[in-house]
Structures are given as structure tokens and as C-alpha cells.
Structure 1
Amino acid sequence: MIVVFTAEAEADLERIGDFIAQDNPRRAVSFVTELVERCLRLAEFPEGFPLVPLYADSGVRRRSYSSYLIFYRVRGERIEILHVMSGVRDWKSLLFPD
């Protein structure tokens, strides 16, 4: 199983790092690394986290880490990381805007 990050997910991780770096640059690097590691671990048990009811037809799943949410989809032998965002954000409108 291979894990791939969409351009949106990569941009999300960069924004998260930039936000944390305002207060603690060292922690920004380590926290983004932790998020990436959690994404990569999805390859061990890709269907181990629940489908997002609103996007179940598209196969979108969600796992949390700290106060962040990792949205992903399993496609054959690939896991696509779609977005990584703070759980306090309005993720429903941001995940797949109309």
C-alpha cells in the first residue's frame, strides 16, 4: 500500500507548520513530521478509521491526531491523503466546497 499526498494536503501541512512556527518554529517542524508519520501509518490498516458520513459515497475516511483531522481515501493499492486540517475549522465547507 502506497500513501500519496494531494497538492491540497501538502499545502495544508505547510499552512499548519507556518501557523505553529509563529510561536515555536522547532515544534512546527516536529509536529508536521508527526502528522506525516500518522498519514504514512494508514498503510498498515487503511480501513481502520471510519468513513465520513457526508462523503461516504466517495470513500472519504477520517482519522484524528491531536486536534487535527486527516481526510483520506483508499483507491486500490493507494491511500490518497486529501486534506489535513484543524478540527476546530469548518471542515465540511472546506473539504469539498461546492
Structure 2
Amino acid sequence: MKFIFSDEFHESLDAIEDFIGQDSPNRALNFTHNLWRKIETIPFMPYRFRKKQNFNDENIRDLIYKGHTIPFEIREDIIIILDIYNHNIKSRFANSTD
């Protein structure tokens, strides 16, 4: 499967890396490295991740990683990574009840 990463995902991830990096650049690198490893597991059984709440679409799922939500869309041969956000900071993609 191929991955497509939205601009929102890249912008949000940069902000998260910058925030973590203020405290510990090494921890920011580890966070990002381990996040990529987790994202790479999505194609193996992508429907094992929780269905996005309040979306009537089986193909929109959430990967949860260290308090961050990574919503993604499953298409035939593509996984679209939509965004990443912390439960304290809502995404443009997140709805009000997530």
C-alpha cells in the first residue's frame, strides 16, 4: 500500500516536534522515529484501528500514539494520513465530540 500524507499532517507534526524539542531534542527525534514505525504498521490489517467517532465511514480510522490521534482514510491501494493532534489540541479534522 502507498501512503499519502496531507499538508495538515506535516504542519501538525512539525509543531509537535518543535514543542517536544524545546524540552529535549533527542526525545523529539525518538517520538518521530517511533511514530513513523507505528504508521508503517497500518497496511497490515488497517481496520484493526478504531473507527473515527461520529463519522459514518468504515474507512476513516484513528491510530492512537502516545496521547496523539492520527486519523487516516483507507482506500483501495492507498492510506491517506489526514492529521495528527493531541487530545488537548484539536485538529482541523477532529470534530467537537472526539
Long gaps (5+) in structure 1 = none
Shift, 1:96, TM fit? 5.8
Count of aligned pairs:
95
Question: For residues 25-40 of structure 1, what are the structure 2 equivalents within 5 Å?
Answer: 25-40=25-40
Q: Which residue of 2 is the match for residue 83 of structure 1?
A: 83
Q: Which runs of 4+ in 1 moved over 3 A?
A: none
Confirm or deny: 8 A CA contact 2:4 2:80 kept in the other structure.
yes
Looking at secondary structure, tell me which structure has more helix per residue: 1
Q: Which residue of 2 is the match for residue 49 of structure 1?
A: 49
Confirm or deny: 8 A CA contact 1:3 1:43 kept in the other structure.
no
Long gaps (5+) in structure 2 = none
TM-score normalised by length of structure 1: 0.84
Shift, 1:13, TM fit? 1.2
Shift, 1:87, TM fit? 1.9
Distance 1:87 1:35 in 2: 16
Counterpart amino acid of 1:65?
A: Y
The Cα RMSD (Å) is 1.8
Q: Percent identity?
A: 26
